Structure 1
Amino acid sequence: MTGDDSSSTSSSGASGPRTATLRDRLPDTRRGAETLLDRVVRENRFTIAVLFPAVGALTLVGSAEGWLPEPLAFNPWFVLFGVVVMRSPLVVGVLPLLDRRAVGWIGLLIAYTYLIELVGVRTGWPYGTFEYTVSLGPMLGGVPLALPVFFIPLVMNAYLLCLLLLGSRAATWWIRLLAVIAAVVTMDVVLDPGAVALGFWTFGGGAFYGVPISNYAGWVLSATVAVVALDRAFDTAALRDRLAGCEFMLDDMVSFVILWGAINLWFGNVVPAVVALSFGVGLVRADRFDARLFTPWR
């Protein structure tokens, strides 16, 4: 009887510390959670920023070329999962700067994203007449519900890259605006031809690898709206400080270069592939696309 009680007490005592230790590992403050997420992303940079886009390019090309069977070909949940993982460095990088004001302005930017896409699908303005030809998950009014996952990071990455490369000149509003507009439009020079080649969506033809020139005029409008919203959402100096200390904050741009550069190269879209490479050069200059990122054991 005594032995049983002792065993029971010993077992209970052993499980208690283990439970407490596990609980102690979980952060109980926002700062603790941010620190944990920073570490997780930092320790998995190669997987997130290199391996995921490489596998993504292979599976998307395989889907377009008919190499993958159903339900693997263009599986929307697989695509969305990969996109969310590749976005994680950006989200984690921005997280410490999120407050009520930032959430409010980003919410307005998300609302604009849905509105302008809905208008575009129904009227052809401002991007040109287009339609989605591959499922990107649940749709509402012909617009993917996950659209902000694709749109917001694109303009945010362009905004951050310009802050990083412009340095002190980024403090001047009109310089920042023009630089971000140019970056967003140039990113779409890479994105849209690749997406059209894959069959994600179609414009029914266009002068630039199946994309009409009007599409890029539409992106000038959207980039301008994005700069206005992001300027009000975040303190520019705080963003630059976070960029300086967070080496992985632009890893989503690295994923962009690898994913869409490879896709455009496969389909023979020479100009978009070269433009993707130029973004890689910019990231190298900014010390964000270097050998350390391609060393998974570090």
Structure 2
Amino acid sequence: MADRSARSETVDRATVQRRLETLITNNRFTIAVIFPLVGAITLVGSAEGLLPAPLAYNPLLILFGTLVMRSPLIVGLLPRIGRWALACLGLLTAYTYAIELVGVRTDWPYGAFEYTIQLGPMLFGEVPLALPLFFIPLVLNAYLLTLLVCRSHAESALVRLPAAIAAVVAVDLVLDPAAVAVGFWSFESGVYYGVPVSNYVGWLISGTVAVVLVDIAFDRAALLQRVHSCRFILDDLVSFVVLWGSINLLYGNWIAAGVAGVFCFGLIRTGRYDRTMVLEAIPGPIRARVGE
């Protein structure tokens, strides 16, 4: 009876996984391009006072859009998340809250900053409850892209870990200037589009802890196999480039936009901006002709 129940649970999980993968695959362009473009328009509209109050910085819309854009990464990684990986990600979640609370209360290690809007419910009234949803996928995206870009060199921890940590810091070189521009948070002062150097020291510290936890969470060979077989697993990084890269362009944050371009180049070189994503946006009859 127990064996039958276990087999049934395995079949049910596989069925759910297939359905989720089909849903993501059939809507790749919408998730990875349309959603972030709409997000960029609404965030800029909010920052410039062009949207009515119910829509401007609407936390439910922000959380919903973020979750949709994260969905390819979450669905892609699900088959590789066992108890050990779940425990490591749980520890990373706790660390994420802890280091952010320390940062808000003491100005260390990121420098003096404050959230200028509420990104959904706030933990202790100080940091977003959804903070892990915002931060941990960025680390996972940077880590997975590093594995693809470094190829066989990723076998060495001396190459893999520093490269992934550098990728995490580079992610914030794109994120923070755009987030400051649209009013998500602000720093007392900063030399890089309103962002201080101390913020990147903080990201170096946080990124190191996060990358090490991610590195020990997964069987790397199995993870890499999944990355190669799942075409959409890095679509969340595509969304990131489209959303924050376009906002940086609109506000003239040229260096930040250039770093987003580097990520775009890496995604293209590793085949993550692929033909199927573009074809999905074309109406059926025309798509069939193009496919021929």
TM-score by length of 2: 0.91
Equivalent pairs, count: 272
Identical positions, percent? 60
Q: Give the corresponding residue for 1:95.
A: 78
Q: Give the superposition deviation at 1:188.
A: 0.4
Q: Match of 2:200?
A: 216
Aligned partners of 1:126 and 1:215 also within 8 Å: yes
The offset of 1:217, in angstroms, is: 0.9
The equivalent residue for 1:277 is 261
Partner of 1:261: 245
Write the deviation string for residues 147-204 of structure 1: whole angstroms up to 9, x where unpaired. Answer: 0010000101000000111111111112111101110111100000000011100011
Q: Distance in 2 between matches of 1:65 and 1:294?
A: 31
Check if 1:145 corresponds to 2:129: yes
- Distance in 2 (alpha carbons) for counterparts of 1:103 and 1:279: 27
What is the aligned-residue RMSD (CA, Å)?
1.1
State the alpha-carbon separation in 1 of the partners of residues 155 and 11 from structure 2.
Answer: 36
1:51-70 map, 5 Å: 51-70=34-53
Equivalent residue for 1:6?
Answer: none
Q: Secondary structure of the equivalent of 1:29? A: helix
Distance in 2 between residues matched to 1:197 and 1:266, nearest whole Å: 10
Deviations 1:1-38 (A, max 9, x none): xxxxxxxxxxxxxxxxxxxxxxxxxx951111111111
Q: Shift in Å at residue 220 of structure 1?
A: 1.0
Q: Which residue of 63, 69, 84 corresponds with 1:80? A: 63
2:20 aligned residue: 37
Residue aligned with 1:202, SS = strand
Letter in 1 for 2:210: A
Is 1:123 aligned to residue 110 of structure 2?
Answer: no
Asked if the contact 1:90–1:251 (Cα under 8 Å) also holds between the matched residues in 2, the reply is: yes
Gaps of 5+ in 2: 1-9, 288-292
Q: Give the Cα separation in 2 of the matches to 1:46 and 1:241.
A: 23
- Corresponding residue for residue 290 of structure 2: none
1:164 maps to what in 2?
148
Contact 1:203 1:212 in 2 (8 A): yes
Q: Could you state the TM-score of these two structures normalised by the residue count of structure 1?
A: 0.89
**Cα deviations by residue, 1:104-128 (Å, 9 ceiling, x for unpaired):** 1000000000000000000011111
Q: Does 1:132 align with 2:100?
A: no
Q: How far off is 1:215 after superposition?
A: 0.7
Q: Distance in 2 between matches of 1:176 and 1:37?
A: 30
Tell me the amino acid that sits aligned with residue 131 of structure 2.
L
Deviation string 1:229-268 (CA, Å, 9 cap, x unpaired) is 1122100111100011001000001001100011011111
Task: Look up the SS of the partner of 1:209 in the other structure.
Answer: coil
User: Match for 1:243 among 218, 224, 227?
Assistant: 227
Confirm or deny that 1:288 pairs with 2:267.
Answer: no
Deviation of 1:291 after TM superposition, in Å, equals 4.0
**Distance in 2 separating the partners of 1:226 and 1:247:** 24
1:227 aligns with 2:227: no
Match of 1:113 in 2: 96
Task: Tell me the alpha carbon deviations over residues 52-90 of structure 1, each in whole angstroms, 9 at most, x when there is no partner.
Answer: 001000010000011101110000000010000000000
Please tell me whether the aligned partners of residues 133 and 199 of structure 1 are also in contact (alpha carbons under 8 angstroms). Answer: yes
Conservation of the 8 A alpha-carbon contact between 1:50 and 1:294: no
Unaligned runs of 5+ in 1: 1-26
Is 1:200 matched with 2:184?
yes
What stretches of structure 1 move > 3 A for 4+ residues in a row? none
Question: What do residues 200-228 of structure 1 show as CA deviations (whole Å, max 9, x unaligned)?
Answer: 00011201000000111111111111122
Equivalent residue of 1:131, what SS?
Answer: strand
1:74–1:134 contact (8 Å) kept in structure 2: yes
Cα distance in 2, alignment partners of residues 273 and 231 from structure 1: 28
Alpha-carbon distance in structure 1 between the residues aligned to 2:109 and 2:273: 34
